[in-house]
Each structure stands twice: as C-alpha cells, then as structure tokens.
Amino acid sequence: MATDPNNSAAALTVRNLSVFFGKNAAVKNVSLDITAKAVTAIIGPSGCGKSTFLRAINRMHELNPDARMEGEIKLFGDDIYSRTVESVTVRRRIGMVFQKSNPFPTMSIFENVTVGLRLNGMRDRKMLAERTEESLRMAALWDEVKDRLNAPAISLSGGQQQRLCIARALAVQPEVLLMDEPASALDPLATAKIEDLIVSLKKDYTIVIVTHNMQQAARASDFTAFFYLGELVECGPTPKIFTSPAQKRTEDYVTGRFG
C-alpha cells in the first residue's frame, strides 16, 4: 500500500523510511514513490513529519546532530544514503526552497542566482550570464529584474525574493526540487504566482511540495500524500485524495474536520 499505483517513472523511491530525533520518531516507516516530472504535495497537520520527510530526501535533516534515519531512498536508482555518496552531491541533484525566503544579503541578484555555480567552481562569465537569464525566466522573475541584476537581492519584494530563491535553486540544474511551504509567508497574489510557477516547472522538474494550504495542494499538485503523526496515511492522484480518499482519516482532514 501507500505507493502510487500508477507509478510508471518514479524519480524517488522511498522505502521504509524512519527518521528519529534522539528517541522520537518524526517519520515512521514511510514507503512512497515520487513520480518524475510531476508535482507531489505533502499535506498533514503541524508536527506530522512532513517537513522532516522532505528534509530527509536531500539529507538536510543531517544538520541536526541528533537526527538519525533508517530505510532507503533512491534517486533514479541511486541510493542517496550509500556510504560512498556525499550529502553535497545529493543536494546538487535535489534542490530545496524554504518557507522563509533567504536570498544572501551580501549579494546582488545576479550573484544570488549564480552562487551555487560559482562556489562550485564555474568561472565562465558567458555561461553564468546564460544560466542567470534561463533560471530567472523559469522562475518568472526575469522581466522584473533584468535591468537591475546588480542591485542588492534584498531590495526585492517578499514574493520576488522567494522567486529569486527558486531561480537560485534552479540554476544548479537539480533533478528534483523540494519546496517547504514556499508560499506560506506570502500574500495571495504572490502565492498565485508561485503556484503558477510550480505548475510550469513540472515539465522539466520533479517537484515535492510541503503545504499547509489544502487549496494549494488541490490546485498545484498531481499527487498528494497525507501524513499523520509521522505515518503516511494515503497517497494517490490529487483529485482522488480530495474527492474520494480511501482512508477515513484522509477524508476527515481534507474536509477540515480535524487538523
């Protein structure tokens, strides 16, 4: 159970994943396939382990020294927790956008977009300029900033800053993009832009988005996974989860009866 039955091309296969902080299990024995070039939404009440699950996918949970994981995650067949794989390599293939936009304050817009490339050794100016335009276009920010690429990144508005962070993540050309409540700090207009962006990005990227906003999951995602108390309750095509879920708990949650 709990895997997507229509799984034809899974980008990520998660098997029996548990994540512990000290003695507490934040994620319990989750198995899930994430379909390639589609948007998978992770929903569930606060503290259900959905952010921890997301962070385990690119090993960000390892920043917490008390964190420990069991199980297996494969990215297109490669075990990302294999002893020979470094977290740095995993994170180059699996990018992440955070809840709070966090452009680097000491850098310009251009420097922010290219930071991942430059700090990994890319020096070719022409290439950097191309990647900047390409990433900013994909993040639907190019037209707004093309005339002031050297302006400080923090001079942008909140919504623009978040799209800049998305462009920054896209510039290193990851295969998967993880988004941890990317629009929860934004106003409705900026949120709508981010959602449009997510839908347009899925032709090139596999996207996993954690969200508190059920309308957002319904609007922007193809698949939805419902987490509760660290367990994966149900996962399936988004219309099915929202209209005829198999589990009673899912139905209660998506209809707003609890959570």
Site residues (CB under 8 A) for another protein?
58, 60, 63, 65, 87-93, 95-96, 98, 100, 102, 104-108, 115-116, 119-120, 152-155, 165, 168-169, 172
Beta bridge partners of 27: 19
Strands (E), the chain: 10-21, 24-35, 39-43, 67-75, 78-79, 94-97, 176-180, 206-210, 223-228, 231-237
Nearest 10 degrees: Cα torsion 144, 149, 113, 195: -10
Q: How near is the Cβ of 233 to another protein at its closest, in Å? A: 28
Residue 76 DSSP code? T
Residue 3 or 87 with smaller CB distance to another protein: 87
Q: How near is the Cβ of 53 to another protein at its closest, in Å? A: 16
Residue 140 or 153 with smaller CB distance to another protein: 153
Residue 111 or 222 with smaller CB distance to another protein: 111
**Cβ contacts of 102 within 8 Å, gap of 6 or more:** 165
Residue 153 or 218 with smaller CB distance to another protein: 153
Residue 50 or 249 with smaller CB distance to another protein: 50
Q: How near is the Cβ of 193 to another protein at its closest, in Å? A: 20
Say how far apart CA 80 and CA 69 lie, in whole Å: 12
Say how far apart CA 202 and CA 194 lie, in whole Å: 13
- Helix 125-138 and helix 109-118: axis angle, to 10°? 110
Q: How near is the Cβ of 245 to another protein at its closest, in Å? A: 32
Q: How near is the Cβ of 112 to another protein at its closest, in Å? A: 9
> Going by DSSP bridges, is the β-strand pair 39-43/223-228 parallel, antiparallel, or unpaired?
parallel
